Amino acid sequence: MSPKSETTEEPRIADNLLTRRRFLRTAGLAAASAAALPLIEGCAAGQNANAPAAKKPPNIIFILADDLGFGDLGCYGQERIATPNIDQIATDGMRFTDHYAGSTVCAPSRCCLMTGLHTGHALIRGNARDPLRPSDITIAELLNKTGYTTGIIGKWGLGEADSTGIPNRQGFDYWFGYLNQRHAHNYYPEFLWKNEAKVPLEGNKLPSPQPGGWGRSAKQVTYSHDLFAKEALEFIEKNKTRPFFLYLALTIPHANNEAGNKGMEVPSLDPYAARDWPDPQKGHAAMITRMDRDIGRLMAKLDDLGLDKKTIVMFSSDNGPHKEGGADPKFFNSAGPLRGYKRALYEGGIRVPMIARWPGVIRDGSVSEHISAFWDLLPTCCELAGIEPPEGIDGISFLPTLLGRPEQQKKHEYLYWEFHEQGKKQAVRIGRWKGVRLNVAKNPNGPIELYDLYKDIAEAKNVADHHPEVVEKIAQIMNSARTASEKWPLPGQ
């Protein structure tokens, strides 16, 4: 669903620029579908039944927004922020209704994404500077070994400089962006990382030296997001003749937390400058529309290079919407119909947009209610590449869903989360049921709230007293779905 009201000339123009491409894609859909059949059905011996042939693996682009809410996109019901290009990806592909982030904050969510493990098993279970270890296996490492050129642009958050966790030591051939998530707060940093070297950014200057480079720059010239957009286009151009995996981890619309109510940093408030809105909300909307513009440029690049039908593009967000830097998630109804925001284990904190597009393979305008999570991306990428995922992961490939084969789709018995701030929390989803336990640090066997998401997506009515058998099952999962962690302990477990 595209934005219904308060649209502006700039988004309309952006939408019109894609009209020719959309027409050509639609006109050639039947031929593209026929051409794609060998990809889907021609499996080499020993490959998974649904995997594309290894000799023709698709390029894989995974775009991750930062703190973008379930309701921040037009295709998920947003009516005030224009996102025509992302909405078009949903029109041309599949929109998931029940997809979940790895966690409700940055670092653990990204760890789940990269390693295929939920927060009961992942190394990083909270926002910390813990680096991934040499023994940890990432999506990039697996794809790189099969011949993919691998690149990450944007925000990493899984290892500091010179540690075992930096991207170049975790399977990525190329890396550009922020290593540290706090450094990533500042959209006008003095430097970024390119592989293992610091790259100074022209014109940006903090008011005083900071060892980590964080803060709010007094001189703001070079906007980091614009560099990420440029780097992404160059990466695609450079690798157009070979299979590639691009993890485009954008920082929009995260706030610069160190900037107070001026934390929604963006070069221009257009196309919302004239709106009768508070400036932080103008900035929030302008950031998202700027991101949408650049995703449109990326999609156009794939089209121009003839890579459109050879590339699967996925888009999601690392957790629910924030209320920092002056942003007010209620203003845009950023969580949509869901309860809670970032740092909550209610749906608004962890249920996120997920869109996938692969012309001729994924059906246009399709919608899936398949229950999936970040730890499913690793096995999905493995199946796309025609290789087996590592043993012991928590993820399940959702490629059958993408291919329109729901009868072949394996399902999770449950999804599990734990969060180590605000007194520690746990959550479990089993089909229609969602269980949440708060204040685990004080009361590890405390009451579990229970919600029927099929009837109550807003988690407004706790029905635990009516379904004690479901509550007991969730309690058992909360006690058994995790391994002990010295750094991330839960009392009594």
Report yes or no on 485 lying in a domain. Answer: no
- Among 408, 423, 448, identify where a domain stops: 408
Domain residue limits at 449: 415-480
* Residue range 369-406, pLDDT digits in tens: 999 999 999 999 999 999 999 999 999 999 999 999 99
pLDDT confidence of residue 212: 85
CB atoms within 10 A of CB 198: 11
239 in the same domain as 355: yes
102 in the same domain as 18: yes
Report yes or no on 492 lying in a domain. Answer: no
Report yes or no on 4 lying in a domain. Answer: no
471 in the same domain as 337: no
For the chain, what is the domain count? 2
* Residue range 200-254, pLDDT digits in tens: 999 999 999 887 888 999 999 999 999 999 999 999 999 999 999 999 999 999 9
Cα dihedral value 112, 383, 358, 251, nearest 10: 20
275 in the same domain as 148: yes
Residues counted in the chain: 493
Contact 385, 57 (CB under 8 A): yes
Average pLDDT of 279-292? 98
- Among 381, 408, 435, identify where a domain stops: 408
The model carries a pTM of 0.90
Report yes or no on 138 lying in a domain. Answer: yes
Q: What is the DSSP string of 53-122?
A: PTTSPPEEEEEEESS--TTSSGGGT-SSS--HHHHHHHHTSEEESSEE-S-SSHHHHHHHHHHS--TTT-
Amino acid at 280: P
The DSSP H or E segment spanning 295 is helix 279-304
Report yes or no on 491 lying in a domain. Answer: no
* Residue range 160-188, pLDDT digits in tens: 999 999 999 999 999 999 999 999 999 99
440 in the same domain as 402: no
Report yes or no on 426 lying in a domain. Answer: yes
The answer to whether the Cα torsion of 175, 170, 102, 407 is positive or negative is positive
Contact 289, 10 (CB under 8 A): yes
420 in the same domain as 367: no
Q: Pairing state of beta strands 415-419 and 59-65?
A: unpaired
- The CATH number linked to 126 is 3.40.720.10
335 in the same domain as 452: no
* Residue range 70-120, pLDDT digits in tens: 999 999 999 999 999 999 999 999 999 999 999 999 999 999 999 999 999
pLDDT confidence of residue 275: 98
94 in the same domain as 25: yes
207 in the same domain as 58: yes
- Among 374, 408, 442, identify where a domain stops: 408
Q: What is the mean pLDDT of the chain?
A: 90
- The CATH number linked to 464 is 3.30.1120.10
Residue 190 CB contacts under 8 Å (≥ 6 apart), including other chains: 200, 201, 204, 205, 206, 213, 217
463 in the same domain as 379: no
168 in the same domain as 240: yes
Question: Residue 55: pLDDT band by 50, 70, 90 thresholds?
Answer: low
d(CA 312, CA 382) in angstroms, rounded, equals 13
Report yes or no on 321 lying in a domain. Answer: yes
The DSSP H or E segment spanning 317 is strand 311-317
Terminal-to-terminal C-alpha distance of the chain: 45
* Residue range 341-377, pLDDT digits in tens: 999 999 999 999 999 999 999 999 999 999 999 999 9
Report yes or no on 488 lying in a domain. Answer: no
d(CA 354, CA 117) in angstroms, rounded, equals 18
